[in-house]
Amino acid sequence: MIAVVGAGIAGLTAALSAVQEDPRTEVTVLAKGTVRQSNTWLAQGGIAAVVPVAAAPGDTAAAHAADTLAAGAGRCDADAVQVLCGAGGEQISRLLDLGTPFDRDPSGALALGREAAHSARRILHVNGDSTGAGIAAALLRAVAAEPRITLTEHAFTAGLLLDAGVVTGVDVLRNGVRSVLAADAVLLAAGGAGALYTHTTNPDSATGDGVALAAGAGAAVRDLEFFQFHPTSLDVPGNPLISEAVRGEGAVLRNAAGERFLLECRNAHPDAELAPRDVVSRAVSAYLQDSGERCVWLDATGIAAARGTGYLAGRFPGLDAMTRSHGLDWEQDLLPVVPAAHYWMGGVATDLRGRTTVPGLYAAGECACTGVHGANRLASNSLLEGLVFGARAGAAAAADSRAGAVPRVLSGDFPVAGRAEQVPSAPPDGSRGEPAFSRAALQELMSAQAGVLRNADGLAAAAAAVARWHCGTAGTATLQGTKGSGSQGQPIRQMRVLEDANLLTCAGLLLAAALRRTESVGAHYRSDAAAGTAGTAGSTLNLLS
């Protein structure tokens, strides 16, 4: 039996591929909330793919790969990029076979949108801006029709079981009750960690569980300093995303004076609103810091003027309803937007088949890191990543755990940092005036010191605070108290405590990685450092070694 942790696009695809790979394999998919509580379900803009029969004139998988490599600021794993972009056509065909209702143009061909840093229109979408939900619904139908896959909601994976260094199952918390699920392999597809930050486009459930579970089992993690901020989340509670596809259609960013400041700011990029995401987020954050303004303004009124009344509502029905629910008419009003934590490029180090450094443990999707995104992910490559690497990881987990198979792991030359780097045994001084741990306090700290703009002093202070919190009641002590039970009647509180511990683990790892990388590259911008040179590998560390 294979346990898949997470029911987004990577987890569902992995489950389907595992049963396809081995007719005797059974799979249990564990979703910690409902299947809708995932970044997949929220994904708007689309899925980037070059489908040969439907491609824009001259577009190729090689061009998609070149754009992915360029956006990744020289830090992408080139083999992973080839796998990702080369598989686009096949994956879209598979989704069409499963009944995914991709939008079509009036001629019946697949409709192709544009997003920043893509050299061609190649973004497929469902119902305008509900792409993730459309794909997930098709995958869920396929999962429901497969008797060898069991999908369990509200099942939180509290730990990995290890026997002599091999993963043998998971410790599951469901309705306040802990139980053990033995497995031949465990595949982590647990998504991201946007809950590390105050402003995030992610659901509250994105608490870095996959990275924390893997690190706790001694798996290598990598590139954790690279956390992508999306430039345009609506500046209202919950920070709903305003898809990059809106800028792809022609929306521009303005300051309070109504100026297109991206054209004139420090380090202005010639592509302005359509520059890579890290460039746009950095320019917006620097502008906000310098001006003291609270937000910038997304102007889509030009689209409405050029394409006619009702165009925005037809092309982006979900966004139209969402903005109107906040009293904004985007045909006439500018939308207040701020950068928000969106996607973690780093994660559990894997090979191109999802194998981690720990036997029996696999990872795919946002919680994994093949190096495919380098230091900055190209827009709309994440759904494709979940499909491509989810399928490969599910098949590998099934094949590797066939009776008699020799356990296979990711091997390589991974620099290792000791646990002391993440959680000092003697918390450093300096806690005077520091707030007690709360998730909000952690988010404020991470946003201030480890957000779009960073420097050594801020990172070090944050690392010390996180270490103190981790050593205190919010970390180990409370976690042990929960394990000791007495709290079985409070399942939500119990899960929250475990999530907080995962967030602290991820924060400590991210800060350590950000401190170690003393250059500025991609989404990791150190205001106290020079720009990095292309080609330096991302960082890797192991929590427990």
The span from the CA of 299 to the CA of 333, in Å, is 8
Question: Which of 6, 8, 11, 45: binder of ligand SIN (CB under 6 A)?
Answer: 45
Stretch that binds ligand SIN, among 240-248, 402-410, 416-424, 451-459 (CB under 6 A): 240-248
196 versus 464: smaller Cβ distance to ligand SIN: 196
Q: Is 385 in the site for ligand SIN (CB under 6 A)?
A: no
Binding residue (CB under 6 A) for ligand SIN from 245, 295, 375, 479: 245
Stretch that binds ligand SIN, among 239-247, 333-341, 403-411, 483-491 (CB under 6 A): 239-247
- For ligand SIN, which residue of 382, 447, 482, 494 counts as binding (CB under 6 A)? 382
281 touches ligand SIN by CB under 6 A: no
Measured distance CA(26)–CA(544) in Å, rounded: 31
The answer to whether residue 27 forms part of the interface with ligand SIN (CB under 6 A) is no
Answer yes or no: are the C-beta atoms of 309 and 272 closer than 8 Å: no
Q: Which stretch binds ligand SIN (CB under 6 A): 379-387, 389-397, 463-471, 475-483?
A: 379-387
- Min separation Cβ 129 and ligand SIN, Å: 7
Closest residue to ligand SIN using C-beta atoms = 45
| Cα–Cα distance for residue pair 281/262, rounded to 1 Å | 10
Among 25, 100, 207, 243, binds ligand SIN (CB under 6 A): 243
Contact at 8 Å (CB) between 382 and 208? no
| CA 518 – CA 285 distance, rounded (Å) | 20
182-190, 243-251, 284-292, 359-367 -> range binding ligand SIN (CB under 6 A): 243-251
- For ligand SIN, which is the closer residue by CB, 48 or 445? 48
Q: Which of 94, 114, 122, 277 is catalytic?
A: 277
Residue among 186 and 379 whose Cβ is closer to ligand SIN = 379
Please state the length of the chain.
545
Pairing relationship of beta strands 347-349 and 368-369 according to DSSP bridges: parallel
C-alpha 479 chain-centroid distance: 25
Handedness of CA 271, 273, 277, 280 (dihedral sign): positive
Closest by CA position to 92, among listed 115, 125, 137: 125
Say whether residue 244 binds ligand SIN (CB under 6 A): yes
> In the annotation, is 277 catalytic?
yes
Beta bridge partners of 104: 110
- Residues 199-238 binding ligand SIN (CB under 6 A) are none
Q: How many residues bind to ligand SIN according to rule CB under 6 A?
A: 10
Which residue type does 177 have?
V
Q: Which is nearer to ligand SIN, 43 or 181 (CB)?
A: 43
Q: Is 388 in the site for ligand SIN (CB under 6 A)?
A: no
DSSP string across 401-416: TSTTPPP----S----
115, 45 Cβ separation under 8 angstroms: yes
Mind giving me the DSSP string for 51-88? -GGGPPTT--HHHHHHHHHHHTTT-S-HHHHHHHHHTH
Instruction: Answer yes or no whether residue 130 interacts with ligand SIN by CB under 6 A.
Output: no
Q: Does 380 bind ligand SIN (CB under 6 A)?
A: yes
Tokens at residue 488, please? 């079985």
Q: Which residues bind ligand SIN (CB under 6 A)?
A: 44-45, 243-245, 342-343, 379-380, 382
Residues annotated as part of the active site: 277
